[in-house]
Amino acid sequence: MDMNIVELENYFVSLNEKKFKALQVFEWLYIHREKDINNFSNLKKELRDKLKNDFKYDFITIKKYETGKDVKKYLFELSDHNYVEAVLMYHDYGKSVCISSQVGCNMGCKFCESGRLKKVRNLETYEMVEQILLIEEDIKDRIQRIVIMGIGEPFDNYDNVINFLRIVNHPKGLGIGARHITVSTCGLVPKIKEFSDLDLQVNLALSLHAPNDTIRNKIMPISKVYTISQVMDAIKEYLAKNNRRVTIEYVMLNMVNDSDECAYELASLLKGLNVYVNLIPYNETNNLDFKKSQRINEFKDILLKMGINATVRREFGGSISAACGQLRSKEV
């Protein structure tokens, strides 16, 4: 269902019903995992019928999955026969799921497979929640962490993504702590600013991928809309309002952004900010020309020497095309 708890409470109040009915609905949906509104037995029949009329209560299905080492990739079919993917990862600290937020993507990052299909539509809130519910049902276990780093730009589907966050974070929803959830954006400045004012302690990650506009312009079309200095100002605003460390994602592309000069320039751009750099080994795809950089450790060492926290992202799922930037909105 597409409503967060506050909207659902307001809905019941507008019907002259008690607010707590919203919590009961949440319990049916997310604790009992009941799919048939007729079985919401503590709501009277008129109310159940009204709910059925007033809400979209649709489902997505697992079309297929593939497994690799510590990873399982799911292809979901939506009710209008579009497709998205999500990835379950087993870490030593628990299970995390990387979910998609749109069918296709309009950001057009040159190195990313997901954007080769232009955006078809935004995912509805329930379509994001269901990715998690279906995976939990499949593995008969709970997941501990969520990253919104699959297909799509979450801040280009802002309202539904925020609704999703409220549902998964709510104790009567999926009860996943905000600190265990990360939203990644390619840098939509107005939305980063909106996100800064939100009363949710969800982690923010920025896909920066270049230390200057010249390089960023070559690989990320969004940088023609928002310059690095505008993006970094928005990040500074976020940091000033939230006491949360921001992740800077930096995909290491051979001969594009992996030189020593780039590392020094990145270090001076980030100096003094409460951020850490997550260096992403590039996952090559058959369709795109970029090559994986072999200089990740040298690059990391320069950042560390310059006082910038840096880690290298663990490589997951490459063998089944389930790694960063390899997910697609396609059946085959």
Residues in touch with ligand SAH (CB under 6 A): 107, 109, 111-112, 149, 153, 184-186, 207, 249, 251, 280, 282-283, 285, 324-326
Is 68 within 8 Å of 319 (Cβ atoms)? yes
Q: How far is the CB of 23 from ligand SAH (least distance, A)?
A: 32
Site of tokens 């979450």:
154
Minimal distance, residue 249 CB to ligand SAH, in Å: 4
Q: Give 169 or 207: the residue with its C-beta nearer to ligand SAH.
A: 207
Residue 224 and residue 217: Cα distance in Å, rounded?
6
Q: Which two tokens stand for residue 84?
A: 């998205």
Q: Are 215 and 237 in contact (CB under 8 A)?
A: no
Q: Distance from CA of residue 193 to its chain's centroid?
A: 17
* Amino acid residing at 278: N
Our CB check for ligand SAH shows the closer of 43 and 280 to be: 280
Least separation in angstroms between CB 85 and ligand SAH: 12
What residue number has its CB nearest to ligand SAH?
325
**Based on CB atoms, which residue is closest to ligand SAH, 75 or 219?**
219
Q: Which is nearer to ligand SAH, 47 or 239 (CB)?
A: 239
Q: How far is CA 57 from the centre of its chain?
A: 23
**CA 31/CA 276 separation, integer angstroms:** 36
Closest CA to 71 of 330, 249, 319, 328: 319
CB of 152 to ligand SAH, least distance (A): 6
Q: What is the closest distance, in whole angstroms, from the C-beta atom of residue 142 to ligand SAH in the complex?
A: 23
Q: 112 catalytic, yes or no?
A: no
- Our CB check for ligand SAH shows the closer of 135 and 205 to be 205
Task: Name the pairing type of β-strands 121-122 and 94-98.
Answer: unpaired
**Cα–Cα distance measured from residue 282 to residue 291, given in angstroms and rounded to the nearest whole number:** 7
Contact 114, 327 (CB under 8 A): yes
Angstrom distance (rounded) from CA 294 to CA 122: 36
Catalytic residue at 324?
yes
Q: Which of 98, 109, 186, 324 is catalytic?
A: 324
Rounded to a whole number of angstroms, the minimum distance from the CB of residue 67 to ligand SAH is 20
3-state secondary structure of 63: strand
Active site residue: 85, 113, 130, 249, which one?
85
CB nearer to ligand SAH: give 98 or 135: 98
- Torsion sign (Cα): 329, 115, 277, 285: positive
List residues with catalytic annotation: 85, 324
